[in-house]
Structure 1
């Protein structure tokens, strides 16, 4: 790492006694350019969010869940194809609908490129949900503690610290200085690999004001005494994140402070960082972490001071985040399969040939269990309507296929994503793109990770003239298909 231990710790403690660096002029919030394309805060219905998440399907869960984390986060997609993250609170949380709406609306006024911004909420009956921008590239915890291809580089760790401090500075400037349970799971990465602070942490986890769900060893000492979160408590949590970035491990602050006092640099620093930073940079980061972790809240820095201290430490500033992270470039596409190519070309004949060859293979696990009723005359008629639809589909009699498949669907006893996909293509062949889109969406509601449903949505959107949405959905279908092929 190139650090001389004795010099390192002398510098650290000398600077500790001198206090923080002098604050420079306020960093611009860049409000003119931030999140320009985001809609205003919106109140959604439960039906809209149920549709967006394919009925809150388990396949769409993107957060850990269970008794310890009862509030589940789902990924989803709105009718306009905007990708979203939906946090669904436990039934017992937020019994006061008015309080929930007021809090959500307040958070929803924030708009910044350092945040995963809150787009809306839902409050119907006992349901309380938040809707935010979807960040597709996992959490800081994933990249820092559970990385698979490469450890996070020093320059990227410094960038994470700066962007997080800028997010907190923006929130503070807008009167939202409190953040509940700031940790590595609250930092998510966008399409470009840039880290953003999740807006979900700006609201309490539940009606009782619970603000911390992590191990008590990581909570601010004043929270243990009073049960209250203050702006200074957030700074304490920021200090624990600096330790995470430095060590690559989730080290309890008390243990980390013991290591600092003992000048045990080897135990505190990630071995993957050897040779990547100077003793001066290491000194400054440890100094900042130490000040954030001061026992007395008033001795901790504020976000503005942290931004000022972190800006001079930045490295490789001209290198995009996705490069530092080893992620595919934003907008890069996977090689398309024959089906993907056919959808891109709007080659409905080729799509028909592929769907006909595939048959009902992808319906395994998607169809509902049938009772003995399936053998009644009514059920036999239903099955016959499907068979007639298949015959018409094979012979390209698309109007007849639509009629037969509709009879099968309307009975509602059995659910088949393939039937919806086939009827969707029939609608496309009949120049009925909106009906085709509706069926393709229904196919994905039944089978959320089915790539063919995404592909058909892309074709229907293109037929409707919604090219940008079509391009995004085609990419999603390609990603789903690649994941399926890898699993197979």
Structure 2
């Protein structure tokens, strides 16, 4: 994928699009992004020392990209230009296993825009404040923890069957949850990284890491394997078990999971089980198999994550007249650049046509304004987007809505217009995602 495409998709690798947790377990940064076709992606940007040989990087990425499984967050593409080495994967919106198991607090970013003006130029500075909320996350249910263990084992079995038995830094940060809240193993760990050669990875060491993950799932925290083995030898199951799980499973189930973990943590690598035997051992332990993952996780599915506002409802029911009224009331926001008399004249004519619902004329005048290129206006793109929807040209409407979001990434109107265009194009699932994003952005705006 071209570097310019990925820069655009991530708003120039903006800080607000970083989704990876930092630290020793996550030495490289992962960004969320959105392509022009509205597909959401995760972009991993390696540090410069990770892949000095671009040919080796491309060969590795090609091999990993050939893997396709519902148990993986699959690789979609890569980029190698100059010193840049980037991987592009399916975006998983519901965070990592580490987030759900270990993090008791939620962190939200609220963005404030400050206009700094000096001389004849102006530019924006973005200040980001992280605010710790007081509410605790919902503890993961026992049935879901068992499902995570099984799906992870199935992912490792699939990779092994395709000749990719090595997985680097297998840990709770590498397990992510998709739109349906099903757990998936990140494809990023199938690639080598800058620390290869310092620590040898073998199929047996991957199984050892799997054993530590089983203990993470049981305890709800990361217990060092040496300490865990002491507890296992002392048959101290209570010290190994998350207190939030009280009453959710029998002693036999807990004992069986601990037994499986201890097999994975055997000192002699040859005594550890292989992925296929892990799958065989975990299948009988599964609980509530008929319950979807999003229900077990308490994640809303098939609609907005919160009650829709009147504008969100209008997008859902395709009420373009109501959206037109909202855009009329909002006026203009975030215009940048110097205006000439011609550009202002085109915009005024476009606004007049838009106000009087002459949408074909509005498209023509707004196009004249945009093509001059001396000003950048998310509002003009938004109004032309709605005009295209009124003229039954939804693909053009979607393109304009995307441009509005590129200019103003946190403007909820841009997401809502994308949802309306996607609904018109019959792309229901993507439309629902855009609708949810619009709701989240609108709620944040109202809160601030």
State the TM bucket, normalised to the shorter chain. 0.7 to 0.9
CA positional deviation for 1:250 = 1.1
Partner of 1:129: 86
How far did 1:485 drift?
5.6
- Whose strand proportion is higher, 1 or 2? 2
Matched, 1:471 2:434: no
Compared CA separation, residues 57 and 415, structure 1 to 2 (3 A) = farther
| Match in the other structure for 1:209 | 196
Q: Answer whether contact 1:81 1:469 (CA < 8 A) is retained.
A: no
Deviations 1:61-80 (A, max 9, x none): 22135898452222233333
Are 1:275 and 2:247 counterparts?
Answer: yes
- CA offsets 1:234-281 (integer angstroms, 9 cap, x no match): 011111111111111111112222333344434322111222222222
Q: Which stretch of the first structure deviates more once superposed, 268-277 or 471-480?
A: 471-480
TM-score, length basis structure 1:
0.77
Q: Distance in 2 between matches of 1:188 and 1:294?
A: 27
Distance change >3 Å, CA 282–CA 346, structure 1 → 2: closer
Structure 1: where are the runs of 5+ without partners? Answer: 1-43, 211-225
Q: In the alignment, does 2:168 pair up with 1:180? A: yes
Q: What is residue 304 of structure 1 aligned with on the other side?
A: 276
Bigger Cα Rg: 1
Distance 1:430 1:112, change over 3 A: closer
- Measure the CA separation in 2 of the matches of 1:186 and 1:470: 25
Kept in 1, the 8 Å contact 2:309–2:439? The answer is no
Classify the secondary structure of the residue corresponding to 1:243.
helix
What are the residue-to-residue correspondences of 1:418-457 with 2, within 5 Å?
418-457=379-418
Give the aligned partner of residue 154 of structure 1.
Answer: 142
Runs of 4+ in 1 over 6 A off after TM superposition: none
Change (3 A) 1:123 1:432: same
State how 1:48-447 maps to structure 2 within 5 Å.
Answer: 48-65=5-22, 69-147=26-104, 148-206=136-194, 209=196, 227-330=199-302, 335-360=307-332, 363=333, 386=347, 389-398=350-359, 401-402=362-363, 405-406=366-367, 408-410=369-371, 412=373, 414-447=375-408
- The answer (yes or no) to whether the contact 2:388–2:397 under 8 Å persists in 1 is yes
In 2: Cα distance, 1:467 partner to 1:197 partner: 27
Task: Name the CA distance, whole Å, in 2 between partners of 1:92 and 1:329.
Answer: 41
CA shift, 1:344, in A, is 3.4
- RCO (CA 8 Å, sep 6+): is it higher in 1 or 2? 1
Q: 1:123 to 1:230 in 2, by over 3 A?
A: same
TM-score calculated relative to the size of structure 2: 0.83
CA RMSD of aligned residues (A): 2.9
